[in-house]
Amino acid sequence: MHNFNVFTGEPRKFDPTFKGPIYNRGCTDILCCILFILALLGYFAVGILAWSQGDPRKVIYPTDSKGQFCGQVGSPLEKKPLLFYFNIMKCASPLVLLEFQCPTTQICVERCPDKFMTLLKALQNEEDREYYKQFCKEGVDMRKVSSGQETFLKSNAVVEARAVAMRIFEDYTQSWHWILLGLVIAMLVSLIFILLLRCLAGVMVWVMIIMVIIVIGYGIFHCYMQYASLKGQAGSDVTIKDLGLQTDFSVYLQIQQTWLAFMIILCIVEAVIILLLIFLRKRLLIAIALIKEASKAIGHVMSSLFYPLLTFALLFLVIAYWAITAVFLSTSSEPVYKVFNTTECMYSRDTCKPETFNSSNVTTECPDAECLFAFYGGETLYHKYLILFQFYNLFLFFWCANFVTALGQVTLAGAFASYYWAFKKPDDIPAYPVFNSLGRALRYHTGSLAFGSLILAIVQVIRVILEYLDQKLKGAQNKCAKFLLSCLKCCFWCLEKCIKFLNRNAYIMVAIYGKNFCTSAKDAFFLLMRNIVRVAVLDKVTDFLLFLGKLLVVGIVGICSFFFFTGKIKIVEDAAPSLNYYWVPILTVVFGAYLIAHGFFSVYAMCVDTLFLCFCEDLERNDGSSDKPFFMSTELHQILLLEKHTKCRDRKIERPAILALIL
């Protein structure tokens, strides 16, 4: 029995004075609170330093290798608004995301090349030679055959990649207002669904299950019809592998294999959902009853439905500050030039300036030396530590984003715990439960929120570093290192999921008892271990049902946006914008709709998790007698009886099965 308590802790004792979230509490994890404040001050200092050193014109205007802006009015390159990359493949490095610069020679051009050939072929014709001269660096003699041949070999990929980017940008400029309308519709659909779930929880859950199956089934039917319609058409039997990488993505929709792949994926998803519903059929009624109780709680705490708007606003500020700081940090670097030569030279790899290089004594002593672009950076102390500033910016972004999420979880947990531990509902529910819970979280538990967010941020940054190392090792031949890196990535992914789950339940305990993060995490862990069967059965089944709700909202909005942007709705056919890639706004709306639906359904999920932990504690503290009455409602008590009945029935089925196996 002693060893059992080591893993589960001691159950809660009856306390006649306990009436829910403790109001007489003190500040927790003060040291972490101070550390968080100092980190924020450092974050602001980095932002101010970046804004003083960066040049946002590098984002607005393309910049060539000499630091000149293409197309800027009043400059010598005013009539050359486009940027030509010599080797676009070098832009695939992850460091480009940090520096917003590509380590290859870039020149400003009036227009992109529209014909492609090797340098040797171009030199054979005067007209071709003059045409390609505009895509060479200044001072290059086109009559000399050099390593510049690689430039033109890559020009086709450069133009195609840039063309795709420009088409996507044009699609956004044409459809941004429709995308915004789609996101507003997603918000309204999510809110209406939540309100219906609050009023008709049982009916809406079954409607949700049936609708998800129907929506996915329609997707399978649509893919099959597209697959059948392409049968027999010329070129439709080409495989994706044979087709290769195409910049015109509509080409992939003209082959049968694409629609076959979509159909197989949707069939697998449909089969998994149906099988889960079949295996979990005994627990669905219990989960629906728990969702009904959560609907009642939300009905008495209606302001909780609008709290995600505050979370969205705070996350928007965090993301905006990180993005702006990242842009200014990235645009504060300068092009660095080095001396390159083929013969021995004492000035080799020294820093040089293209403007004064030809008049320097380097060309005298080393005739074949050239002053070429090496990398983006700088010689100052600020430039040397620029990469560290970027990682600090990324780390604080994760920390602040996790802190905002944690603040929302603690606030909602405190509000719903106030509802549960009110003996006479709704008379004993305190006024303004969400506002009071938010005030308690900020006043007393900023340090605890910062502590839990810091742990999660560290794991997330480690995952980013592992992804960066994975990119660097892609061309390596060391299979052992690749395998080890893959194992580390998997382990840290699992660790992040576990920490998120534990943090979520720890925040609920912080909201109820007002203890520090470590103590709350320990209490939450032991409480979950003492009710591990309920956690696996009740809590996770309700999470699955709420996930189906998110899929339903995303499916409805996604199908509507598909029919609109492809012009299949006759009523608004003329209003649909003319697009290069109709999937650009569709994917944007789908992704945004999922984030919006997740925000609204997270209120339900947090309510279910809070009621579940309070439910488990109520069972340990009280026994339902007149001296120790339950705080749970009659419906929740029926859930307990139904769960016991189901568990006993499962055991009766399991025992004969075990005996049969033994015999």
For 179-203, the pLDDT digits (tens) are 888 888 888 888 888 778 777 777 8
Q: Are 633 and 425 in contact (CB under 8 A)?
A: yes
Looking at residue 138, what is its pLDDT? 63
- Which pTM value belongs to this model? 0.72
Token pair, residue 149, equals: 């041949």
How far is 111 from 372, CA to CA, in rounded Å?
Answer: 24
How far is 173 from 160, CA to CA, in rounded Å?
Answer: 20
DSSP 550-609: HHHHHHHHHHHHHHHHTT--STTTTTSPP-S-THHHHHHHHHHHHHHHHHHHHHHHHHHH
- 568-577, long-range: CB within 8 Å, 24+ apart, which pairs? 577/174, 577/175, 577/178
Exposed, middle or buried: residue 479 (CB in 10 Å: 0-12, 13-18, 19+)? exposed
Token pair, residue 595, equals: 């984030």
Looking at residue 85, what is its pLDDT? 72
**385, 389, 395, 397 alpha-carbon torsion, rounded to 10°:** -170
Please list the alpha-helical segments (H only) found in 345-478: 354-357, 362-365, 381-384, 386-420, 433-444, 446-472
Taking 3-state DSSP, the helix, strand and coil percentages for the chain, each rounded to the nearest 5, stand at 70, 5, 25
Exposed, middle or buried: residue 162 (CB in 10 Å: 0-12, 13-18, 19+)? middle
Q: List the chain domain ranges.
A: 334-377
109: helix, coil or strand? strand
Angle ∠(6,12,16) on CA atoms, nearest 5:
160
Q: Which residues contact 54 (CB under 8 A, 6 or more apart)?
A: 327, 328, 329, 330, 331, 332
pLDDT one-digit tens code per residue, 315-327:
989 999 998 898 8
Owner of token pair 């992804």: 467
How far is 309 from 384, CA to CA, in rounded Å?
Answer: 40
Owner of token pair 């086109």: 142
Q: Is 505 left (phi over 0), alpha (psi -120 to 50) or beta?
A: alpha
Q: Which residues contact 251 (CB under 8 A, 6 or more apart)?
A: 243
How far is 172 from 583, CA to CA, in rounded Å?
Answer: 11
Mean pLDDT per block of 10 residues along the chain (663 residues) reads: 54 68 84 95 92 72 69 74 69 49 69 65 67 65 46 46 66 81 87 78 79 86 85 72 60 78 90 84 74 82 85 90 87 74 74 78 77 67 81 93 94 90 79 90 93 94 85 70 85 91 91 91 87 70 80 85 78 72 83 86 86 83 78 70 52 37 31
Owner of token pair 């568990």: 647
The residues that bridge with 82 in the sheet, in sequence order, are 109
Looking at residue 397, what is its pLDDT? 94
The residues that bridge with 496 in the sheet, in sequence order, are none
Q: What is the CA radius of gyration of the chain?
A: 31
Residue 203: Cβ within 10 Å count: 12
Angle ∠(477,483,484) on CA atoms, nearest 5:
115
Looking at residue 401, what is its pLDDT? 94
Looking at residue 662, what is its pLDDT? 29
Owner of token pair 């195409």: 246
DSSP 274-296: HHHHHHTHHHHHHHHHHHHHHHH
